Chains A and B, each alone.
Chain A
Amino acid sequence: TLNAFAETRTGAESEAAGKWIPNTCQGCTTWCPIEIFVQNGRAVKVRGNQLSKANDGYCCVRGHLILQQIYDPDRIKTPMKRTNPKKGRKEDPKFVPISWDEAMDTIADKIMELRKNNETHKFLLMRGRYSHHNTIFYGHLPRMIGSPNNISHSSICAEVEKMGSYATEGFWGYRDYDLDNMKYLITWACDPISSNRQPPNSIRRLHKVLDGGTVAAIDPRMNNTAAKAHEWMPVKPGTDGAVAVAMAHYILVNGLWNKDFCGDFKDGRNQFRKGATVNEGDFDEKHTNGLVKWWNLELKDKDAAWAAREAGVDRAQIERIAKGFAEAAPNCAIWYGPYMHPRGSYAVMAIHSLNGLVGATDSEGGLVTGMGAPSTAYPSFAPYQDDIAKANAGQTKIDQRGYLEMPAMARANPGTGVVCNNVANAILDEDPYDIKVAIGYFNNFNFSGTEGARWDKAMAKVPFFVHCVPMFSEMTYFADIVLPSALHHSEDWALVSSKANCYGHLSIQQPVIERMFDVKGIETEVTWLLAEKLKDKGFSNMYDWLSKEYKDPETGKHPSNSLEFAITATKMRSQKAWDPAENKDYKGDRPNGWEDFRKKGIVNSPRFTFRQKWANGFPTETKKFEFYSETLKKGFETHAAKYNVSVDRVLELTNYAARGELAFVPHYESPEDVRHGSRREYPFDLIDMKSRLNREGRSANNSWYYSFKKCDPGDVNQEDVVQLNPDDARKLGISDGDMVRVTSTIGSLTVKARLWEGIRPGVVAKCFGQGHHAFGRIASKDFVKAEPRGANFNEIMPDDYDRITGSTARNGGFTGVKIEKV
């Protein structure tokens, strides 16, 4: 064949002109401010926002994957409607393209029907990933229609870890870390340089702690941080709490607790000796509450020797890490992960309490609650809510939060935490009632919820479901209407706030390219379009709310169409950040005007100020760092009183081992009796891990995802694998690359085995992210036949919960599995 490029162009080497346009990546929960390089109207490269103090202008590998999402050959380009009424996991919906007008008209009719029958509470809005503007679509819209049911994905994500810092220091959120000044870092059931918590910042700064201090990683699997760390403690899944309390025991017995923070014995003589009960009156506490109670109730007998047996690790290593950690205080921190396990709340309380014991919390070189960023409150919808809406918006929520056996305490308030995965059960049981109309956006619960088969049945039961997504995913099989969403990182108007490296930031999401298809921003434009249609059908409250309350802060003009509404909402929400009249006293960045803010794309907060909580108190019941948690106790007692039962009865019904006072202190609970499957029949503990290439669940249709999959230690390019320890494999006659059947109490999946020394014997590890039978031609093995590529192990993880927080269990080896060569 002729060489098509015979003529090679002359001219100086250089890159063609282009423009870096700021935006925000939401490939994980770091929510990094980024910039996208645009040449001739095409998005061609991605980097961190050069002004960002959180990521110093760098993004992780996920940021670059954005380009293959924008230009994904299987993107939905038009609204569609179902023509096959039958619904099922692989039942072809026989979608046909329709106009936005017809789609919104159909949706509006369904809502008018609910209002006519006074059943507006039977409307359900499910949210996956989101921006600030979820307040409009997820927060306000359901209440304007008259439903209490806005259901977030958060409890299938990471809510348990928030109870660790809430029950102790009243902080319900992800912590931030001062790595520049840190001398000892323990990463515990977490891999910051690969997923979820600040990959660019931790990738960038981990070497500083490696070089100038010590890094210890505690995880049954040698994750990325563990591969680089000075210490790797391969703890038995679910026994982390034993190691944590033993470290606390060691620190107290050896007098290494932080006396400035916790206080000391009146006579200065350390009475903490193994087995010895200590008199509370002998100890003067300072910024903490219940240290001696904690010792007497839980710690006094649980030394490193005991924990070494319980957790299957080396006693000397437990003591060495405890000693090094305490001696580096307060310039140290434990960075722990979601710990979504049926008894996770107490494990993370035990782990976080160590951050208090050594005085690392709220300290330079330690961990902090982090900084926020300025934004302007959304206008109220309440004046426009009619009586039907007011009444039904007050009904019981669909997810059964607050039921006796589901305390679901967000911030230790019973009945306030969302129980996302339980919505499928509630729909199937029609308890508290049936759901008639549902909208889901930026979510795929049939794939990302554990025991997804329940979602298949439940979504088949919902008579009318609208799915607002850019890709035809597993949940889309159940949709009656599909609305193609504009991509948040490149085609939409929104705002995101996050933090890292002791700085908070507000960052923009704005179109960087012309929309190639008839896609729209769900949180804003779809709200407007629905309001217009409802007005045409006689219900104008929503339209009045949006058209009157939203007005351009600079021009005073009210929006007249959905795109104008999206831009106006974005300008209003960020006004406090960019308007010179409003930001003049702000100590962080102060752009001068909306256009300046758009050009920069970010407002950095000032750096975090340490030790304010030491000085002014913690937001807990006692205003102290609570080893004995009055805060959690109040939640338990409120919940128990609601049902006129004892707290012990609640503990019994929610599968926790503790009774009495032990329930209010960090303590270890064995994972054995909440494990699904006997060890005889299901000998292996399954642990789920996150790939550093996962844009949450959304990377699987990118070819680049498979080209670099081996960047997850132990995994293999182009394949999906389950990692097995070679000794275990040998006993089962399994060699590297064999296909194996992995069976739990609720099902079996077949996947390739990978023999890997970086996994503890008796444990198998599997990366979440593959196993799609939908989503696209690269994500699935055969899209038309709905055959999965790889295996989605969510399907064989039973639907269980850490009931204190209502979080879905997926960690800590709570699922037992059997492995057989196929």
Chain B
Amino acid sequence: MAKYGMVIDLLKCTGCGACGLGCKTQNNTDDPSNGQTFNWADYCESYSGKFPNMKYTMYPTLCNHCTDAPCVSACPVNPKAMYKKDNGITMHNEDRCIGCRMCQRACPYSSNDINADAGAKYSVISFNAAGKETQAKYKDSSELFKGSTSGAELARKSGGTPPYKTEFSHPDYNPVRGANKVEKCIFCEHLVQSGHKPYCTQVCPSEARVFGDLDDPNSEASKLLKKHSSSAVSLKDNKGAMQKPDDGIKPNVIYIRSYAAR
């Protein structure tokens, strides 16, 4: 048994965008469409105060792999498509998913349509609509002018859709998920199982993200959490409200220290 989680040191974080974009290159997530971000890793900016005493914090976000995950209880499929693994990861099985989006509705960190949800800054779960053309850009054969290529030609010539598709194998997830399915961060389990860290953690230039087993007191993540327990907080929703990590549904992405030094 383990409880994988992530501790993010906000003093080290500069909100630079590398984790959000790195995740997309690792997991081949799509461009945003009809209110779905398809950013498994994203950002929640929070600011207060008037000029010149403005305080600004950027929280890098991802699925919190909550201990009491409402998305899991909401999943109507049996056996569940959204389920907890014994390593703590809230896993989503693409095959069993029926696209009902009950999980997206139940998750406080997700919106069914981010454009229609006032104040929503990110959405952990995204939905590939039924009949949606995933990676549409690289199926489009239109050429802008005589002498330019097209998305479809790039896919054909490279042999990938998208051409920059990172191939990986995982029993629950395909490198590119299909239509009529939700999708979300699975802590890059395919990397973790082969001894690597989730890709968002690998690409963070300031090593602000520490992934590990929060049930193991000797893990780096647990030790960091212990050292900075006074400043430990978690997000409560996707609008920037905060909570103590072990309140409510017990999110397992925990922020320590503060983004701003003033």
Task: Using CB atoms and an 8 Å cutoff, list the residues of chain A in contact with chain B.
Answer: 1, 3-16, 18, 37, 39-48, 55, 58-61, 63-65, 67-68, 70-78, 80, 95-97, 193-194, 199-200, 203-207, 210-211, 215, 222, 224, 227-232, 234, 472, 482, 513, 516-517, 692-693, 703-704, 707-708, 710-711, 713, 718, 725-727, 757-761, 776-777, 783
In the bound complex, CA of A203 to CA of B18 (Å) = 11
Q: How far is the CA of A61 from the CA of B12 in the complex (A)?
A: 16
Asked whether, in the complex, the Cβ of A708 is within 8 Å of the Cβ of B31, the reply is no
Distance in angstroms from A414 CB to nearest chain B CB is: 41
Tell me whether A73 and B151 are in contact in the complex, defined as CB-CB below 8 angstroms, given that A67-B25, A206-B14 are known contacts: yes
Say how far A20's CB is from chain B's closest CB, in angstroms: 12
- B86, chain A: closest CB distance, angstroms: 14
Inter-chain contacts of A776 with B (CB < 8 A)? 144
The answer, among B47, B145, B194, for a CB contact under 8 Å with A13, is B194
Interface size on B, residues (CB 8 A): 86
| Complex: chain B residue closest to A36, CB-CB | B164
- Establish whether residues B16 and A199, one from each chain, have CB atoms under 8 Å apart when the complex forms: yes
For this complex, 10 residue pairs linking A to B, each with C-beta atoms less than 8 Å apart, are A10-B171, A14-B194, A15-B167, A59-B205, A70-B163, A73-B144, A231-B262, A692-B17, A707-B24, A711-B17
Q: Report the 4 A-B pairs with minimum CB-CB distance, sorted nearest first.
A: A16-B167, A61-B17, A13-B190, A8-B95
Given known contacts A5-B95, A95-B146, A710-B45, A68 and B164 CB-to-CB distance under 8 angstroms = yes
CB–CB B158/A47 < 8 A: no
The residue among B22, B147, B150, B181 with the most chain A CB atoms within 10 A of its own CB is: B147
B230 at the interface (CB under 8 A from A): no
User: Taking A41-B158, A46-B25 as contacts, is the C-beta distance between A203 and B43 under 8 angstroms?
Assistant: no
* Most central of B11, B14, B37 by chain A CB within 10 Å: B14
Interface residues of B in 85-111 (CB under 8 A from A): 93-95
Are A711 and B58 within 8 A (Cβ)?
Answer: yes
Contact assessment for B31 and A703 in the assembled complex, using a CB-CB cutoff below 8 Å: yes
B39 interface residue per 8 A CB criterion: yes
- A-B contact sample (12 more), CB < 8 A, given A8-B174, A713-B56: A3-B95, A13-B170, A15-B190, A46-B25, A60-B16, A76-B147, A472-B144, A692-B17, A708-B17, A725-B51, A757-B49, A759-B51
**Residues in B neighbouring A39, C-beta threshold 8 A:** 166-167
Is the beta-carbon distance between B37 and A707 smaller than 8 angstroms?
Answer: yes
Let me know if B179 is at the binding interface, CB within 8 A: yes
A8 touches B149 (CB 8 A): no
**Contact indicator B193/A42 (Cβ below 8 Å):** no
Q: How far is the CA of A486 from the CA of B122 in the complex (A)?
A: 37
Check A516–B14 contact: CB distance below 8 A. Answer: no
A13-B193, A203-B205 given as contacts; is B146 within 8 A of A97 (CB)?
yes
Q: Known: A39-B167, A211-B11. Is A76-B160 also a contact (CB below 8 A)?
A: no
Which of B21, B47, B93, B163 contacts A708, CB < 8 Å? B21
Whether A75 contacts B149 by the Cβ 8 Å rule is yes
Tell me how far the C-beta of B31 lies from the nearest C-beta in chain A, rounded to whole angstroms: 4
Interface string of B43-75 (1 = CB under 8 A from A): 101010111101010100000000000000000
Q: A42 to B45: give the CA distance in the assembly, Å.
A: 34
CA distance A703 to B37 in the complex (A): 12
Q: Known contacts A64-B21, A224-B15, A707-B39: does B145 contact A43 (CB below 8 Å)?
A: no
CA distance A203 to B9 in the complex (A): 13
| Of B146, B163, B180, the contact of A96 (CB 8 Å cutoff) | B146
User: Given the complex of chains A and B, what is the CA–CA distance between A76 and B150 in angstroms?
Assistant: 10
A453 to chain B, nearest CB (A): 24
Query: Are B145 and A472 interface neighbours, CB within 8 A?
Result: yes
In the bound complex, residues from chain B placing their C-beta under 8 Å from that of A210 are 11, 261
Given A44-B166, A74-B149, A207-B206: A9 in contact with B179 (beta carbons within 8 A)? no
Q: Does B26 contact A (CB under 8 A)?
A: yes
CB-nearest residue of chain B relative to A517?
Answer: B149
Question: CB distance B130 to A1 under 8 Å?
Answer: yes
With contacts A40-B160, A58-B205, A204-B206 taken as known, whether A711 is within 8 angstroms of B43 at the C-beta atoms is yes
From residue A410, how far is it (CB to closest CB) to chain B in Å? 33
Complex CA gap A236/B193 in Å reads 54
Interchain nearest-CB distance for A14 vs B (Å)? 4
* B81 CB to nearest A CB, Å: 11
Q: Knowing A8-B93, A61-B16, A95-B145, say if A42 contacts B160 (CB, 8 Å).
A: yes
Known: A9-B171, A516-B158. A234 touches B164 (CB 8 A): no
Residues of A within 8 A of B47 (CB): 757-758
When chains A and B are docked, how far (Å) is the Cα of A227 from the Cα of B14?
Answer: 9
A5→B149 contact, CB < 8 A:
no
**B205 and A204 within 8 A (CB):** yes
**Which residues of A have CB within 8 Å of B31?**
703, 707
User: Which residue on chain B has the smallest CB distance to residue A224?
Assistant: B14
Given the interface pairs A4-B178, A8-B94, the reply to whether A234 lies near B56 with Cβ below 8 Å is no
B160 proximity list for chain A (CB < 8 A): 40, 42, 44
Which residues of chain A are within 8 angstroms of B202 by Cβ–Cβ distance? 47
Asked if B54 and A757 sit within 8 Å, CB to CB, the answer is yes
Chain B residues with Cβ under 8 A from A43's Cβ? 163-164
The answer to whether the Cβ of B131 comes within 8 Å of any Cβ in the partner chain is: yes
CB of A44 within 8 A of CB of B25, answer yes
CA distance A199 to B14 in the complex (A): 10
- Given that A71-B154, A228-B259, A228-B261 are contacting pairs, would A234 and B51 also be in contact in the complex, using a CB cutoff of 8 Å? yes
CB distance from B52 to the nearest CB of A (A): 5
| A310 CA / B93 CA spacing, docked (Å) | 63
- Tell me whether A227 and B144 are in contact (CB under 8 A): no
CB of B2 within 8 Å of the partner chain: no
Complex alpha-carbon distance, A37 and B16, angstroms: 21
Known contacts: A75-B148, A75-B149, A711-B17. The answer to whether A230 contacts B206 by CB under 8 A is: no
Indicate whether B242 reaches chain A with its CB closer than 8 angstroms: no
B97 to chain A: closest residue by CB: A3
Q: In the complex, what distance in Å separates the CA atom of A708 from the CA atom of B174?
A: 25
Q: Does B189 contact A (CB under 8 A)?
A: yes
- Cα distance A693–B16 when bound, in Å? 9
User: What's the minimum C-beta distance from B154 to chain A, rounded to whole angstroms?
Assistant: 5
Q: Which residues of B contact A45 (CB under 8 A)?
A: 22, 25-26, 164, 166, 199
A12 to B17 Cα, complex, angstroms: 30
Q: Which of chain A's residues have a CB closer than 8 A to the CB of B51?
A: 234, 725, 727, 757-761
Are B146 and A16 touching (Cβ within 8 A)? no
Smallest beta-carbon distance B129→chain A, Å: 10
Scoring B residues 110 to 151 as 1 if CB is less than 8 Å from chain A, else 0, what string do you get? 000000000000000000001100000110100011111111
- CB-CB < 8 A to A58: which residues of B? 18, 203-205
What residues of A have a CB within 8 angstroms of the CB of B37 in the complex?
A: 707
Report chain B residues within 8 Å CB of A703. Answer: 31, 137
Question: Within the assembled complex, what's the spacing in Å between the Cα atoms of A739 and B186?
Answer: 40
Complex Cα distance, B54 from A234, in Å, reads: 11
CA distance in complex: A7, B259 (Å): 44
Chain A residues contacting B43 (CB-CB under 8 Å) are 708, 710-711
Q: A60-B16, A757-B54 are in contact. Are A227 and B137 (CB under 8 A)?
A: no
- CB pair B178 A227 closer than 8 Å: no
Contact B137 A15 (CB under 8 A): no
Tell me which residues from 181 to 220 in chain B have a Cβ below 8 Å from any Cβ of chain A. Answer: 181, 189-194, 196, 199, 202-208
A contact residues around B261 at 8 Å (CB): 210, 215, 228-230
Residue contact B144 to A64, C-beta cutoff 8 Å: no
> Would you call B177 an interface residue if the criterion is a C-beta within 8 Å of the partner chain's C-beta atoms?
yes
Give the complex CA separation of A194 and B18 in angstroms: 11
Task: Let me know if A47 and B171 touch, CB within 8 A.
Answer: no
Please determine whether A11 and B25 come into contact, CB atoms closer than 8 angstroms: no
Chain B 149-162 interface 0/1 with A at a Cβ cutoff of 8 Å (1 = within): 11100100111101
Shortest Cβ gap from A23 to chain B (Å): 15
B32 at interface, CB cutoff 8 A: yes
B20 contacts the other chain (CB 8 A): yes
**Assuming A15-B194, A64-B18, A234-B51, is B166 touching A37 (CB within 8 A)?**
yes
CB of A77 within 8 A of CB of B147, answer yes
Interface centre among A13, A59, A708, A776 (most CB of B within 10 A): A13
CB distance from A685 to the nearest CB of B (A): 15
Report if B260 contacts A (CB, 8 A).
Answer: yes
